[in-house]
């Protein structure tokens, strides 16, 4: 096998530092070629390795295993981030709008709560299920009622809606909640307690748009 142009043979584990996934894949390909050349003749006959060759073969295997482990870790991390792209988009959108993730909505002024809620309604992915007249009605309620505006902020997100549906449609639904869904329900409950002065024994609120 021809060695990929520009790809050096990694001689130590340090040679793997700072490498991109593509560079690691090329290094593994080069290592595989050299390991095969040490292990077998061109005709397929197994070779007897002298001490120096055996040492090089063992070192090559160790470097290859480390490179594979680094690629596996990269794939796992990439898979995790790909699972919730909408959640990531919402975080960046909130940061651009000045609303930090987890911010206490009770501390927002009336105008801040209204403006943030209206931005949520303007998000096409968040309001696509509403008919024009329904969206207009929700916007009127947001402008007139600061409680509705704040409830939009704590209920109009994917995690809260998914959690609410699990709790009302499945016996023992709480056991199926993800960590993100539990946090979303907790954020609403904290707002409800702060705004209504009740205990946490009550139920959870219907998402504003589901109730619209």
Residues 77-125 have pLDDT tens digits of 877 766 655 555 555 555 445 555 555 677 788 888 888 888 877 775 5
Instruction: Name which of 156, 135, 144, 157 is nearest 114 in CA terms.
Output: 144
Triad 114, 91, 133: Cα angle to 5°: 40
Q: pTM above 0.75?
A: no
The predicted pLDDT at position 44 comes to: 82
Q: How many CB atoms lie within 10 A of CB 99?
A: 20
Measured over the CA atoms of residue 32, residue 37, residue 39 and residue 40, the dihedral's sign is positive
């Amino acid at each position: 096998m021809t060695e990929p142009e520009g790809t050096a043979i990694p001689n130590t584990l340090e040679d793997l530092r700072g490498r991109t996934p593509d560079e690691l894949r090329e290094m593994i390909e080069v290592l595989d070629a050299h390991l095969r050349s040490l292990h077998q003749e061109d005709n397929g006959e197994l070779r007897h390795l002298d001490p120096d060759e055996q040492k090089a073969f063992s070192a090559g295997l160790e470097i290859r295993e480390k490179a594979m482990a680094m690629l596996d870790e990269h794939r796992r991390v990439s898979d995790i981030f790909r699972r919730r792209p909408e959640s990531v988009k919402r975080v960046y959108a909130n940061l651009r709008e000045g609303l930090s993730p987890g911010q206490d909505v009770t501390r927002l002024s009336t105008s801040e709560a209204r403006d943030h809620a209206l931005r949520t309604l303007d998000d096409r992915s968040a309001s696509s299920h509403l008919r024009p007249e329904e969206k207009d009605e929700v916007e009127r309620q947001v402008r007139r009622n600061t409680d509705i505006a704040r409830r939009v902020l704590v209920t109009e997100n994917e995690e809260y809606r998914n959690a609410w549906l699990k709790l009302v449609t499945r016996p023992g639904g709480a056991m199926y909640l993800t960590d993100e869904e539990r946090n979303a329900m907790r954020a609403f409950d904290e707002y409800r307690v702060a705004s209504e002065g009740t205990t946490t024994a009550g139920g959870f609120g219907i998402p504003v748009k589901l109730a619209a």
